[in-house]
């Protein structure tokens, strides 16, 4: 979407799979341009971190969140 990729998110580890679908996570977090409601937040607030999933043998996955701003 408009050239924005998950690899553009600070903290994203390309060598790890995503815990959630990137575009669905961006919509759920109300990140513009994936969400276009009146309470949309800028893409620049989107961040990624690596989390361990105990259901998958504690393998690390990318997870997305919003930086407070």
pLDDT in tens, 13-65: 999 999 889 999 999 999 999 999 999 999 999 999 999 988 889 899 999 99
The whole-angstrom distance between residue 67's C-alpha and the CA centroid of its chain comes to 11
pTM for the whole structure: 0.86
Instruction: Give the integer Cα–Cα distance in Å for 69 and 62.
Output: 21
Asked if residue 3 has pLDDT above 90, the reply is no
Please give the C-alpha separations between residue 7 and each of 12, 38, 48, 55, 57, in angstroms, as whole numbers: 6, 26, 10, 25, 25
Whether the ω angle into residue 33 lies within 30 degrees of 0, i.e. cis, is: yes
């Amino acid at each position: 979407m408009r050239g924005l990729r998950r690899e553009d998110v600070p903290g994203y580890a390309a060598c790890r799979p995503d815990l959630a679908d990137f575009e669905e996570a961006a919509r759920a977090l109300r990140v513009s341009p994936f969400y276009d409601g009146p309470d949309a937040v800028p893409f620049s607030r989107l961040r990624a971190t690596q989390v361990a999933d105990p259901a998958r043998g504690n393998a690390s996955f990318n997870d997305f969140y919003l930086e407070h701003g």
